[in-house]
Homo-oligomer: A and B are copies of this chain.
Amino acid sequence: MRKIACLFVIGLFLWMPYIAIATDVPISDATAECIECHSSVHPGIVEGWQQSQHAKVTPQTAMAVNGLARKVSSKQVSDDLLTRAVGCAECHTQRSTAHADTFDHNGYDVHVVVSPKDCAICHAQEADQYSKNIMAHAFNNLAANPVYHLLQNSILGTPEPADEKKGSITIKPPNDATKAEACYYCHGTQLSVKGYETRDTEAAGELEFPIIAGWPNQGVGRINLDGSRGSCSACHTRHTFSIKMARKPYTCKECHTGPDVPAFKVYAASKHGNIFSSMNESWNFDTVPWTIGQDFTAPTCAACHVSLLINTDGEVVAERTHQMNSRLPWRIFGLIYAHPHPKEPDTTTIRNKNGQSLPTAFDGEFAAKYLITEKEMNIRKENMQAVCLSCHAATWVNGQWARFENTIQETNTKTLRATNIMNEIWHLNLADFKWKDTGPAGNPFDEAIEKKWSNTWLIYGNHIRFASAMGCGGDYGVFANGRYDLSKTFMEMADWLKARKRIFIQKGQP
């Protein structure tokens, strides 16, 4: 009888790995005290955590795992943390003097915002890799770039009423609340403690809490209250921190669904996305390392870009990377032209030949000394192709890649053609922008015709390249923000120029 029950339980373990199992992992007194109130005040948080590995495994147990299956990458973890669950207090009271939002909460020095440096106590390698990830710099790369600043203001700002009667319209810059829920929702906000407030709480009467500007936010480049960059919970959703969730494409979708970065949409319509959507209910998203073919039969975002992958012989196909562009030679979105990835994650220091903080000039020329070399591009290409080759023959992979690089060339050329029209428009003063040694005169992104131009590269060029990269042709490569729209918009720009020349310049008869 016992054998049978055992058999049944093994069955459950095999097929239902996500079911929470009551465990005997001890929790610290501090965490126990947190849970006492918070389990009724915020049941979702506590229940979520109960389902996490943090509640089920102690660091000591996790560190006893050797080899590829090991999840705790730090070589040492202080004794006081080793033998207890990673609970509320273990994260929210660590490094208390480092966090500007640390406050006294029922006798504990608690900080609200947990940062990558807190997570690094156990996950040092991931935090280190992530610090080299361009995402970690997403706040400053946007906030401190004067060119992007012009783009941001043109999108988020509010037109001023008085100026509508003038030749040009003045845009009032957006306030912090708007910025925080728009661009910086994904890029991350800069957090700061603005003061303290007393709130009457149901559980414990009047209590004082810090007021944190920029909060809430889980953006990838958040500037934390200990000065660190990033938010692990952007992908490792609090408080379950499920690897399953991080490996599913819906996590990446939060910021990469488009139309500026249409990665998820394109994936979902690709053959890989079809296999995922149709079959993933029988995949295993929890195993580390992740075995190609056995645990999953088509890649998710994580498989190609992040995860540690092995083949069925146990050999490593791809190393885990939280730098994320380790397998990416080309940067195909967000900028005017596709280009080799920047060398450094801090892109504010880049200058193109005209002194603009852009990885290419307006004519497409690369700011080569700031970008990775061809050699590095080849290393990254090989890193990526190792994943492809697990399910595709070299003939297939080479053919696919040749098309992708052809498309980079094609879309860059088409963008140049559109930019040439803009140059004529700016030259004729039909729109207001010049780049001078002292910086921009006018904003190249804020007028109607300029926004048509930005569509060509910020929306359509991206879609075409993502569709090429992931093999999803007819939709996002053509009709859904692809070549159909790019060609339409190019022709509309030419049509606009032709008409405006007649309306405002009147040179000759047709």
Contacts and interface: CB of A to CB of B under 8 A. Distances in A.
A234 to B, nearest CB: 9
Given A417-B159, A478-B182, A491-B169, A47 B294 contact: yes
18 contacts: A1-B4, A4-B7, A39-B313, A47-B292, A47-B294, A51-B297, A155-B483, A156-B478, A157-B487, A161-B420, A169-B494, A175-B410, A184-B473, A209-B394, A212-B395, A254-B472, A260-B478, A502-B503
Interface of A: 1, 3-5, 7-8, 11-12, 15-16, 18-19, 39-48, 51, 112, 154-159, 161, 164, 167, 169, 174-175, 177-178, 180-187, 199, 201, 209-212, 215-216, 218, 237, 240, 242, 244-245, 248, 250-251, 253-255, 257-260, 268-271, 273-275, 277-279, 281-282, 291-294, 297-298, 311-313, 315, 389-396, 399-400, 402-403, 406-407, 410, 413-414, 417, 420-421, 446-449, 451, 455, 458-459, 467-468, 471-475, 477-480, 482-484, 487-488, 490-492, 494-495, 499-500, 502-504, 510
Report copies per complex. 3
Contacts of A161: 417, 420
A41 to B, nearest CB: 8
Q: Is the interface of A mostly helix, strand, loop or mixed?
A: helix
B282 A468 contact: no
Contacts of A5: 4, 7
A402 B176 CA distance: 11
B473 A185 contact: yes
A19 B503 CA distance: 69
A448 B402 CA distance: 31
Nearest to A477: B182
